[in-house]
A and B are shown apart, each in its own frame.
Chain A
Amino acid sequence: MTERTPAAESGGGPRLELAGVSKVYDDGTAALAEVTLGVGGGELVSVVGPSGCGKSTLLRIAAGLEAPTSGTVRHAPERIGYVFQDPALLPWRTVRANVELLMELRGTPRAERRERAGRALELVGLAEFARHRPGALSGGMRMRVSLARTLADDPDALLLDEPFGALDEITRAGLGDELAALLAARPRPAVLVTHSVAEAAFLSSTVLVMSARPGRVVARVEIPFPFPRERSLRATPEFAEVVADLTGRLYRGMAEVA
């Protein structure tokens, strides 16, 4: 089993730390090689890399869903909010009941559940769909329900596995803003896996660029812009430069292996 120390011991709010984590699957596939990652409260670290580079594996190990072959997960917060690539909703429950699920499983009293679910739905803009079933919603809306479920649970750390992948540009930007506001409101570590370099640059304090399989961290880039960031930032030459730099590193990381 992975060593897990309570977040409280680390001091200064919850932290998420992985040290030298590698993963080799039983069939011999090496998914991750020696990845070290430290995320402090209120920090958002994005992970970009070619598909199949083990980005999702990294999140799964951080969440405790998989054990690393070597290396350790240090300081993993107890209550982890994980947003999967696929919305993973219960089709027989209404949207509201789906958003209440995690709180229900943790034993939150009904009235509080109601209230928090309502707020989370409001936040993702789906309040009027509370009584619908997921089957009646579009793919993007379902993803927002999934996000609302995690937010309503108020986790100590957020792990997001390409949650915005299926969404249109406008919704995507809106949810990005919400994410930033949430992290500012209550500092907690967050890791975002994405294949949009621009999204990574705009939302994160740090971007990790990973190589093709087995995934290694080939670059760790601090994004220099202060928070909160305005949407207009995306149109500035400075931002374009950062994105170009990241994209260059991403391609170099892919070429190194090929």
Chain B
Amino acid sequence: MPLRRGGDTARHPAAARSRVRAWLPPLVVLGLAVAAWYGVSDRLLSPERRFLLPPPDAVVRVGFLDGANRAELLAALGRTAEVAGLGLVLATAVGVGLAVLMSQARWVERSLYPYAVVLQTVPVLALVPLLGFWFGFGMASRVLVCVLVAVFPVIANTLFGLRSADGTLEEVFRLARAGRLRLLLKLRLPAAVPAMLTGLRISAGLSVVGAVVGDYFYQQGQPGLGILINVYRARLESERMFAAVLLASLLGLAVFWFFGLLAHWAARRHGTDGRRR
């Protein structure tokens, strides 16, 4: 039985214990990983080869404590987040739109869904040069890569959600002579919200990956994290490269957490969370 969060831990030793139990193991693993990292950097690697894995404190010192480096990294982080965000918004609009269309008639689904699957299975990296030719090696292509990698989970989950409405409820609507639009707006779409958010959570993570990959390849315009990683790699500035990789990972993690919280909140509002009997 999970304990209620946000209680006064001091007065609830059981809650405190369970929180410790939840947080301690991953923290121990983190500690071990950092220790292993130091072990490899300081003991295993000779000073001239230390650039392969600079110790954590060097990464923090060079990457984040140095003002100019920090400014460059944060600007790139902002750019990458912007591309990922824009890509996600477009993927959501296109994905939900397509899913709604497909939900309206089986023939539409039969005609379109296979191509959505193809889109998912074609390695996007293979399309990267083509997209460059067509849309230039700047912002537009970066965003497009995000849309391409992020759109499928939105389509698949929204479609599933639109079909998840209870059959009896559909009959309630039918008996009241509700038309397609009413059925969609008042039953199918609201019923699809939890599944949609699940899809959005997956897509958001993919969109961050797409943004980093995108600016790794499309280097025109202001740099994102992908470009910086590539540049630092070329210059063997591994502390800064590690810092950039760390920021990209943190962005992915933040996005994942955010959409997790959003899904949780929506489930409560949706009334599907309070069904305890």
Contacts and interface: CB of A to CB of B under 8 A. Distances in A.
A90 B190 contact: yes
A202 interface: no
Interface-central residue, A63, A91, A104, A138, by most chain B CB under 10 Å: A91
Given A105-B186, A135-B275, A136-B274, A88 B178 contact: no
Contact of B176 (A93, A105, A138): A105
Contacts of B273: 135
Nearest to A94: B271
A91 B172 contact: no
B111 interface: no
Contact of A102 (B166, B172, B274, B276): B172
B173 interface: yes
Contacts of A84: 168, 171-172
Given A105-B182, A134-B271, A135-B274, A90 B173 contact: no
B189 to A, nearest CB: 11
A163 B187 CA distance: 23
A139 interface: yes
Contact of B272 (A63, A105, A135, A153): A135
Contacts of A88: 166, 168-169, 171-172
Interface in B156-198: 166, 168-169, 171-178, 182, 186-187, 190, 193
B186 A91 contact: no
Nearest to B275: A135
A92 B274 contact: no
Interface string A83-124: 010101011110000000110111000000000000000000
Contact of A92 (B173, B174, B182, B271): B271
Interface in A17-73: 63-65
A96 B104 CA distance: 29
Nearest to B169: A88
A91 B173 contact: no
Interface string B232-263: 00000000000000000000000000000000
Given A91-B270, A92-B269, A105 B190 contact: no
A133 B178 contact: no
Determine chain A's interface SS by DSSP, over half rule: loop
A86 B168 contact: yes
A229 to B, nearest CB: 30
B106 interface: no
Given A86-B168, A105-B182, A105-B186, A91 B272 contact: yes
Nearest to A60: B171
Interface in A127-178: 133-136, 138-139, 153
Nearest to A85: B168
Contacts of B193: 92
Contacts of A138: 277
B191 to A, nearest CB: 8
A101 to B, nearest CB: 7
A212 interface: no
A106 B177 CA distance: 8
Contacts of B271: 91-93, 133-135
A101 B172 contact: yes
A10 B182 CA distance: 32
A63 to B, nearest CB: 6
Interface in B135-175: 166, 168-169, 171-175
Contacts of B190: 90, 92
A82 B169 contact: no
A192 interface: no
Nearest to B171: A65
Interface string B69-86: 000000000000000000
Nearest to B176: A105
A197 B112 CA distance: 53
A201 interface: no
B270 A92 contact: yes
B174 to A, nearest CB: 7
Contacts of B269: 92
Interface of A: 63-65, 80, 82, 84, 86, 88, 90-93, 101-102, 104-106, 133-136, 138-139, 153
Interface of B: 166, 168-169, 171-178, 182, 186-187, 190, 193, 269-277
Given A63-B175, A105-B176, A135-B276, 10 more contacts: A80-B175, A88-B171, A90-B190, A91-B270, A91-B272, A92-B190, A92-B269, A105-B173, A135-B275, A138-B277
